[in-house]
Amino acid sequence: MNDFINGIFTDIPAPILIIGSTVIFAMAGLGAVIMRSRASNRPASAKKIILPPVMMSTGALMFLFEPFRVAWPHVFEALAVGALFSILLIRTSRFEESGGEIYLKPSKAFIFILAGLLILRVAGKLVLSSTIDVGELAGMFFLLAFGMILPWRIAMYLKYRKLQSRIGAAA
């Protein structure tokens, strides 16, 4: 398996890997927008808030393979940038109560935030790909995304629990 992964990064030119991963990220972003709009029609739950970072954490298995390993300073940089980006998502994620249920209130800013993150990601890849290997760059962007999603989901969970306890106290 390690030879297969190494082969990908030696046989496929870096620009094609960068373009391919950008297209995949854009499709994932579109999927996130669709899922987010559908989620606003169904009641929120602690499980729905907590599961995405738990499921995403399985992606850390990529670091078992040499091409994806990231130097420790880059790990901390990627997580810090992700935490900074999470502030936008935290500030735009709101819950509302309707009929005794809690719903995620749709935010028009979410689409623009995702588009902005895509643009920053592409620009970052273009700039960094000349100095950092494509595999290591993929690992860094995974860490950035995880560093963004984890604090965002923790904040969402805390907001959810706060509104849930407020509804329970009022009942």
Residue-wise pLDDT tens digits, 96-116: 998 889 998 877 777 787 778
- Identify the sign of the CA torsion 142, 148, 149, 154: positive
What mean pLDDT is predicted for residues 135-141? 89
Residue linked to tokens 């935290």: 90
Whether the CB-CB separation of 93 and 107 falls below 8 Å is answered with yes
Confidence band, pLDDT 50/70/90 cuts, at residue 39: low
Tell me, what amino acid is at 5? I
Q: What is the pTM of this model?
A: 0.81
Inter-axis angle of helices 134-170 and 2-11, nearest 10: 110
- Closest by CA to 144, choosing from 61, 65, 85, 96, is 85
Task: Inform me whether the pLDDT recorded for 80 exceeds 80.
Answer: yes
Phi, psi for residue 131 in degrees, rounded to 5: -120, -15
Task: Inform me whether the pLDDT recorded for 31 exceeds 70.
Answer: yes
Domain ranges (residues) in the chain: 1-39, 43-169
